[in-house]
Every structure is written in structure tokens, then in C-alpha cells.
């Protein structure tokens, strides 16, 4: 019954909007296109069917309906345009990087090495957990794969060594370890452009809506003052809030050392994967600066997506992964169809003039406010409305175009700063609820963080992260832009 209701709800939303009177300032075509878009967003929020299927169906309906262009040939070209979007391929490629981490066992080794070296006391263990995510983040675009697939399976073994089980004994050490891991992945998801898949979606929306575009390096530099500070503060704050009973943990280092011993020395594929990831990092940074010349590529500027293809080709040539691994990476191709269809639909709102109309309508109530006040209110809306979303990508697709359009309609408001603050919010807002981001249900369901604790911790850290955006990142962006 629930499944049937979720399938029907998007159709109800579409029909309701379709039948409503067309608002002043819009034509019938624009309003009916919005009805399709709203139905798609509803389907994504309710997860009526696989997200890629929802987006593809919506794109097909919009294309067949001729809402963007009545000419069938031009309508088809519009439908296919998103499949050539470079940022989508960047994320698909980064998913392939995660295959290399997984198959080579490099990701597991990095986490175990940090636990062995920093895990002799509980606070050090918290930093080891956070650093594991930090080191994996630049080349793992799914925080679910990174935190849920690599970090969580390792750290879930730790509490039981001390008799800390889900329930009454969770507070011994389990609550602290689990919450630190979860809070850290929210930070790294915002710190690196390639650490969270929706970052790419948001950047495409920002580029198509208000013309804002940034490189991999510019993204990192813009958030680094807050991101690096939070990586230092969060394990400490988690320690103070969770108050673990166990203060020292030499057994953890011994356990990690045993696991590493069983793994043996670094394999050929681990070494190759490490070199390739360092190469990708170098080329991404080089691509951020036209002053850095890369002779082998014959250009001063290396496109971030080109870097992905270079590294994947080398992974295939060296045998770190096989082509069958790429074909079989289901999550990568789900993201591919999801993003291409959703981003094309979102850009269509701008192409038909709907976003401009919406901006004018919403900007009027804010017209009497100073640009700074209006920007803070818009960022606050974008951040805290995530309580109503279980998908960060759905949130970005539904809310970001509106917020950016409204901001662009307010005189003297720095739209680039607004766009960056909203995009940086995507990773951070994942901390606020047990359903706010992919890894959240996993940590929530571990039993180490109580229901009330999860909501309380989420609010505390959400307030901290949001305050950091306004107090540190906002003035920093105005200085470096």
C-alpha cells in the first residue's frame, strides 16, 4: 500500500499544479513544465522508484511535451544535452576511483594505519577516525561509500573491544567513535568538491542559473579556513559532548596493528593506486591555476574531468581495476542517469524563464533589507529546510535554483558568495538528522547513538557548522573572490 501511494503521489502533484490557474506573469507552457518538475522532485523525495528512473521519466515527459522547444529534433537535443555535462562525468569517474580504493585495499590500510598511530587514547582515536575520512574524501564522491563502506566497517569493531555494546554500555566509547565519524564526513563532504556527488549537481545548477563556476582548487580554498578548523575542533567537541568513559585505548592500536599484519606489506596495486590518486590531486590543483604548465598534456590548464579519464585509463592499463568493474559499478551509473536528467530538467526552468519570474516574485519581500541580511536569510532557509529532505541532491535541485534566483534579483547582493555558501552547506547539513544524508541511517541504526542523542547532537553541530559558514566563510569569500 505504501509503495502504491508513493507511486501515485507524484502524479497527484503534477495534476494538481497542472489544473491550477496559471499565475500572472507566466504562460501555460511554463506552468505545465513546472508541474512536471514538481512531480519529479516529489518522486525523488518519496523515492517512488529508483532515482535514475524518476529523473529519466520526468525528462522524457518534458521532452515529448515539447515544453522547451516544440520542434521534436530540438527537443531531443535538449534532452540529451545533460549526458555531455563534464561535471557529471567527473563524479562518475570519481566513483571508479573508489573501486580502486576498494579493490586494492588502500582505503582500509589508510584507516588502519591512522588508528594504530593515533588510537592509544580515546581523543586520539577520534582524530584517527576523522583523518581516515579526510584522506579518503578527495577521491571518493559518495560519503555513503566512504564513511559507510570503508570507515564504518572498521570502526564498528572498536567499541566491542572495550565491552561497549549498543544500549546501556554504548557511552563507554561507542557513542563517541560513531558520532565523530559521522560529524567528520559532513565536513569533508563540503571541503572537497569531489567528496560528495551532489556538489557537482549544485555547481551545474549555479552555473546555469546565475553563471557561477569554480575550479576544484577554488572550491577547496573557499572552504578551507572553516573546514580545516572544524577537522581540529569536531573530535574535541564530540569528546566533550559524548563524554566517553574510556579515556585510554592502547588495545585499539594493538588491534589495528594485528589487522595490518594480516594484510601484509603494501601490494603492487596499492602502490599504483596511491601514485594515481596523488597524480589526480596534482592535476586537479594544476587545473585550478593557468600558471602551472603540464608539459605532457601540452596545455597550461587541465580540465578536472579530463584528469578523471587520464587516471581511469592508467588504472585500467596497470590492472588496478578491470573494465568489468566499471560496467558493474551500479551506483555510478545510477548517479549518471539521475544527475543528467535532473540537471537538464533544472536548467529547463531557467531556459523557459520560470526562474526569472520566481526570482522577481520572491525578491520583493526582501527588497527593503540590506544585501548582507538578505543573503543570511537565504542561506539560513537553504540550510535548515533540509529537515524536510532525505536526499541532498533532491534538496539542491529543488531549492538551490530558487534561492539563487531570488538572490540575483536583490540589488548589490553578491550572488557568487551566496552560491558558494549554499553549495558548501550541502555536506554540512547532512549532520542535522538521522535521514539527512546517506551514511546517517547507518550510524543511527548502529545503536550506539540514542534517538534523542542523534537529534540533539545534530542540532548542536548543525548550529556550529551554520555559524561557521556565516562568521568565517562568508567574509573569507568576499576577500578572495
For 177, 208, 432, the CA distances from 202, given in Å and listed in that order, are: 31, 10, 20
Confidence check: pLDDT of 428 > 80:
yes
| Burial of 319 per CB tally in 10 Å (0-12, 13-18, 19+) | exposed
pLDDT over 50 (residue 294): no
Dist. CA 9–CA 441, nearest whole Å: 24
What's the mean pLDDT in 419-439? 91
Instruction: Give the N- to C-terminal CA distance of the chain in Å, as an integer.
Output: 52
pLDDT at 288: 45
Q: Assess contact for 22 and 31: CB atoms under 8 A.
A: yes
- Cell 516574485 belongs to 361
- Residue 291: the pLDDT is 40
CA distance 159 to 169: 9
Find which of 37-51, 142-156, 377-391 is predicted with most confidence, using mean pLDDT.
377-391
> Where is pLDDT greater, at 111 or 340?
340
Which of these, 58, 139, 207, lies nearest to 215 by C-alpha position?
207
Q: Which residue has the higher pLDDT, 470 or 346?
A: 470
User: Above pLDDT 90, what percent of the chain?
Assistant: 35
pLDDT of residue 293: 42
Q: How confident is the model at residue 402 (pLDDT cuts 50, 70, 90)?
A: confident
Task: List phi, psi (to 5°) of 390.
Answer: -110, 0
Judged against a pLDDT cut of 70, whether residue 423 lies above it is answered with yes
Q: What is the mean pLDDT of the chain?
A: 85
The 3-state secondary structure of the chain reads CHHHHHHHHHHHHHHHHHHCCCCCCCCHHHHHHHHHHHHHHHHHHHCCCCHHHHHHHHHHHHHHHCCCCCCHHHHHHHHHHHHHCHHHHHHHHHHHHHHHHHHHCHHHHHHHHHHHHHCCEHHHHHHHHHHHHHHHHHHCCCHHHHHHHHHHHHHCCHHHHCCCCCCCCHHHCHHHHHHHHHHHHHHHHHHCHHHCHHHHHHHHHHHHHHCCCCCHHHHHHHHHHHHHHHHHHHHHHHHHHHCCCCCECHHHHHHHHHHHHHHCCCCHHHHHHHHHHHHHHHHHHHHCCCCCCEHHHCECCCCHHHHHHHHHHHHHHHCCCCHHHHHCCHHHHHHHHHHHHHHHHHHHHHHCCHHHHHHHHHHHHHCCCCHHHHHHHHHHHHHHHHHHCCCHHHHHHHHHHHHHHHHHCCCCCCHHHHHHHHHHHHHHHHHCCCCCCCCHHHHHCCCCCCHHHHHHHHHHHHHHHHHHHHHHHHHHHHHHC
pLDDT given at position 192: 94
**What's the pLDDT score for residue 18?**
92
Q: What is the pLDDT of residues 190-243, one digit of tens each?
A: 999 989 988 988 998 898 888 898 888 899 999 999 999 999 999 999 999 999
> Mind listing the pLDDT tens digit for each residue in 115-162?
788 778 889 889 988 998 998 888 777 787 788 767 876 777 778 777
**pLDDT (average), residues 97-117:** 80
Residues 287/478/353/380 CA torsion (nearest 10 deg): 110
What confidence score (pLDDT) does residue 91 get? 66
CA distance 146 to 215: 23
Q: What is the pLDDT of residue 2?
A: 64
For 231-240, 261-270, 290-299, 431-440, which range has the lowest pLDDT when averaged over its residues? 290-299
Residue bearing the bigger pLDDT, 465 or 337: 465
Q: Is the pLDDT of residue 281 over 80?
A: no
For residue 91 the three cell numbers come to 563524479
Residue 443 pLDDT > 90, yes or no? no
Which pLDDT value is given to residue 366? Answer: 76
What average pLDDT does the segment 164-177 reach?
88
Residue with the bigger pLDDT between 172 and 155: it is 172
Task: Report the alpha-carbon distance of residue 306 to residue 303 in Å, rounded.
Answer: 5
Which pLDDT value is given to residue 287? Answer: 54
Task: Please indicate, yes or no, whether the overall pTM of this predicted structure exceeds 0.85.
Answer: no
Confidence of residue 286 (pLDDT cuts 50, 70, 90): low
In the predicted structure, residue 413 carries a pLDDT above the cut 80: yes
Decide if pLDDT at 290 tops 70.
no
Amino acid at each position: 500500500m505504501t509503495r502504491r501511494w508513493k507511486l501515485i503521489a507524484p502524479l497527484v502533484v503534477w495534476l494538481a499544479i497542472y489544473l491550477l490557474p496559471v499565475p500572472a506573469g507566466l504562460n501555460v507552457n511554463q506552468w505545465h513544465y513546472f508541474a512536471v518538475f514538481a512531480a519529479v522532485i516529489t518522486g525523488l523525495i518519496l523515492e517512488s522508484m529508483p532515482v535514475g528512473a524518476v529523473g529519466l521519466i520526468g525528462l522524457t515527459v518534458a521532452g515529448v511535451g515539447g515544453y522547451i522547444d516544440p520542434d521534436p529534433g530540438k527537443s531531443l537535443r535538449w534532452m540529451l544535452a545533460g549526458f555531455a555535462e563534464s561535471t557529471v562525468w567527473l563524479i562518475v569517474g570519481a566513483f571508479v576511483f573508489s573501486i580502486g580504493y576498494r579493490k586494492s585495499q588502500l582505503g582500509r590500510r589508510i584507516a588502519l594505519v591512522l588508528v594504530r598511530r593515533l588510537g592509544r587514547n580515546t581523543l586520539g582515536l577520534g582524530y584517527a577516525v576523522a583523518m581516515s575520512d579526510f584522506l579518503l574524501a578527495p577521491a571518493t564522491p559518495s560519503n555513503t561509500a566512504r564513511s559507510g563502506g570503508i570507515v564504518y566497517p572498521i570502526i564498528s569493531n572498536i567499541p566491542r573491544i572495550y565491552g561497549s555494546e549498543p544500549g546501556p554500555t554504548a557511552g563507554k566509547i561507542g557513542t563517541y567513535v560513531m558520532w565523530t565519524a559521522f560529524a567528520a564526513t559532513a565536513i569533508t563532504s563540503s571541503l572537497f568538491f569531489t567528496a560528495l556527488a551532489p556538489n557537482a549537481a549544485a555547481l551545474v545548477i549555479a552555473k546555469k542559473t546565475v553563471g557561477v563556476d569554480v575550479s576544484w582548487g577554488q572550491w577547496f580554498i573557499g572552504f578551507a579556513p572553516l573546514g580545516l578548523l572544524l577537522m581540529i575542533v569536531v573530535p574535541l567537541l564530540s569528546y566533550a559532548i559524548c563524554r566517553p568513559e574510556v579515556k585510554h585505548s592502547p588495545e585499539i592500536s594493538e588491534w589495528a596493528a594485528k589487522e595490518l599484519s594480516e594484510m601484509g606489506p603494501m601490494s603492487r596495486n596499492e602502490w599504483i593506486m596511491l601514485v594515481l590518486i596523488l597524480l589526480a590531486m596534482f592535476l586537479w590543483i594544476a587545473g585550478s591555476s593557468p600558471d602551472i604548465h603540464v608539459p605532457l598534456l601540452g596545455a597550461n590548464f587541465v580540465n578536472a574531468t579530463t584528469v578523471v579519464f587520464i587516471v581511469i585509463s592508467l588504472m585500467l592499463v596497470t590492472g588496478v581495476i578491470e573494465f568489468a568493474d566499471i560496467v558493474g559499478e551500479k551506483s555510478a551509473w545510477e548517479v549518471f542517469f539521475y544527475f543528467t536528467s535532473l540537471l537538464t530538467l533544472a536548467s529547463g526552468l531557467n531556459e523557459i524563464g520560470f526562474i526569472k519570474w520566481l526570482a522577481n516574485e520572491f525578491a520583493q519581500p526582501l527588497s527593503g533589507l540590506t544585501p548582507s541580511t538578505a543573503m543570511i536569510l537565504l542561506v539560513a532557509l537553504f540550510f535548515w529546510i533540509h529537515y524536510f529532505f532525505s536526499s541532498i541532491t533532491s534538496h539542491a535541485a529543488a531549492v538551490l535554483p530558487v534561492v539563487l534566483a531570488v538572490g540575483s534579483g536583490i540589488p548589490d547582493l553578491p550572488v557568487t558568495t551566496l552560491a558558494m555558501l549554499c553549495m558548501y552547506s550541502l555536506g554540512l547539513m547532512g549532520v542535522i538528522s538521522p535521514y539527512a544524508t546517506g551514511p546517517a541511517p547507518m550510524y543511527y541504526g548502529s545503536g550506539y547513538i540514542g534517538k534523542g542523542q542523534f537529534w540533539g547532537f545534530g542540532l548542536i553541530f548543525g548550529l556550529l557548522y551554520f555559524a561557521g559558514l556565516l562568521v568565517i566563510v562568508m567574509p573569507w569569500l568576499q576577500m578572495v573572490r
